[in-house]
Amino acid sequence: MPPIETLLPFLLAALLMGAAPGPDNLYVLAQSLQHGRWAGVWVTLGLCSGLLFHTLAVALGVAALLADSVLAFNLLKVAGALYLLYLAWQAFRAGAANSAPVAALTPPRLYRRGVLMNISNPKISIFFLAFLPQFASPVNGPLAPQLLLLGALFMLTTLLVFGALAWSAGGIGQRIQGSSSLQRRLHQLAGMLFVGLSLRLLLSAQNH
């Protein structure tokens, strides 16, 4: 197990990374504003579950294969971008002036959105591959358990930061629920955000 003098800097770095603007916390922000606090919380739980996938990928060496394979990286990248465009289409449809009512998102559906959003981004696996091993050492025992512990701690900090974001943004979203025009604008802004995130993912490079 990594010593406390290693874990404390890791936790600080994880908190700072969770608070820095990025695709995942922007996604939580958009979903919380659109659908309320608990929607953001369920999306956050899905995103954190997706981090488990990336942690296992690093511990098992899959992330190294992904980093070396241009084909695997691009396939996962395109899948993630297409999913974001699907979410953009749903948001634009909900924001259309004469649109039919959109069915409420259930907790399982919101959770799945978070999981798919996270695991379909190959950049996260490569980031974990570069970040987690910096805080693991053979001196402290087998590497795989250390990487799993670090991944779990990263998930915990992400849950705390994104959960706080979801709760605060959801409170703002509740205040505009009574205005149909503001709701339409919010859906349209969310659609543009998803399109932007999709393009950002498509244009991302494998080695950055």
- Note the pTM of the prediction, 2 decimals: 0.74
Amino acid present at 140: N
Phi-psi region of 61 (alpha: psi -120 to 50; beta: other; left: phi over 0): left
Q: How many CB atoms lie within 10 A of CB 118?
A: 24
Q: Higher pLDDT residue, 199 or 50?
A: 50
Task: State the pLDDT at residue 175.
Answer: 64
Task: State the pLDDT at residue 183.
Answer: 67
pLDDT of 12 > 50? The answer is yes
pLDDT of 157 > 90? The answer is yes
Q: What distance in Å separates the CA atoms of residue 145 and residue 95, rounded to the nearest whole number?
A: 46
Average pLDDT, the chain: 80
Tens of pLDDT, residue by residue over 66-120, are 667 777 677 777 877 787 788 788 778 766 655 544 456 789 999 998 998 888 8
Q: What percent of the chain has pLDDT over 90?
A: 19
Q: What percent of the chain has pLDDT over 70?
A: 82
Tens of pLDDT, residue by residue over 135-155, are 888 888 888 888 899 999 999
pLDDT of 124 > 90? The answer is no
Task: State the pLDDT at residue 66.
Answer: 63
Task: State the pLDDT at residue 178.
Answer: 59
Q: Higher pLDDT residue, 83 or 207?
A: 83
Task: State the pLDDT at residue 208.
Answer: 46
Which residue shows structure tokens 């950055």? Answer: 208
Task: State the pLDDT at residue 74.
Answer: 77
Q: What distance in Å separates the CA atoms of residue 74 and residue 72, rounded to the nearest whole number?
A: 6
